Amino acid sequence: MLKAYKVIVPKDYLRWRPEDEQPLTDGQVFDLLEFSYEHVAFPIEESQHSYWGHSHYAYDVDLGRAGLKEDVNRIFVRNGMAFEMVDGEVVRLAPTVLAEELSSSVFHSGDQILDELLATARTKFLNHSPDVRREGLEKLWDAWERLKTIEPGSDKKAQAAALLDRAAAGDFRQLLEKEARTLTEIGNIFMIRHTETNKIPITESGQIDYLFARMFGLMYLLLKSTGRLR
């Protein structure tokens, strides 16, 4: 039939079978959704041609995008997928334990570089791409190293101790110090801050979630306890 219409198509296309196709990756599907959002519009019949009787259409971009967003998010919810389309971009929903803190935190540490690192880490962590989310984890660890030097002190060790002193006292202060040491060690052992061949790579999405939640939880508490969050 294609030949009858003089349509030129690749020969391989004529031998195409659905079972030969590789399943699309999540990233490919999300790229298609985001591309569709950029170009979708809702058709509105404005008038009809007085002689030929066909319709004349206008196209409402905002209405089309709103409809696509609603449909996409309904599918995500129905299938229990932790994603949402926001302003034309498919973003990953943060784990419940982090969702409120991530969405409501306004970083106001008094150190512009630290605030930028935290904001970048948050944005990348909410990306649907595992590779970008891993970059968010790396940025969060960079922010941690920066935070440890934000208080006055003779050296990095003294500065970190001053930060913990301001955040808590007694047994809880000891608990925070132990967690801070552990997370610093994790950053040195795993491929987060360093890329030497002896570092352990982080390969699973769940591992990224766990480490980000643990580090962000500590940093959130330290920032809030020292008046560096709005």
Output the pLDDT for position 18: 62
The values of phi and psi at residue 222, to 5°, are -65, -40
Q: Which residues of 6-26 are buried (b: 16+ CB within 10 A; e: fewer)?
A: eeeeeeeeeeeeeeeeeeeee
Residue 119 and residue 183: Cα distance in Å, rounded? 20
Model pTM above 0.75? no
Output the pLDDT for position 13: 53
H-only helix segments in the chain: 11-14, 26-39, 61-78, 96-104, 112-125, 130-147, 156-167, 170-189, 205-225
Output the pLDDT for position 135: 96
Output the pLDDT for position 1: 45
Output the pLDDT for position 15: 59
Output the pLDDT for position 88: 93
Output the pLDDT for position 22: 79
The pLDDT profile of the chain, 230 residues, written as one tens digit per residue, is 445 445 555 555 555 566 667 788 888 899 999 999 999 999 888 778 777 777 888 889 999 999 999 999 999 888 878 889 999 999 888 776 677 788 778 899 999 999 999 999 999 998 888 899 999 999 999 999 999 999 999 999 999 999 999 999 999 999 999 999 999 999 999 999 888 999 999 989 889 999 999 999 999 999 999 999 87
Do the beta carbons of residue 30 and residue 128 sit within 8 Å? Answer: yes
Give the closest residue to 218 by CA, choosing from 189, 191, 190, 183.
183
Tokens coding 202 = 């982080």
Output the pLDDT for position 19: 65
Residue 138 and residue 117: Cα distance in Å, rounded? 10
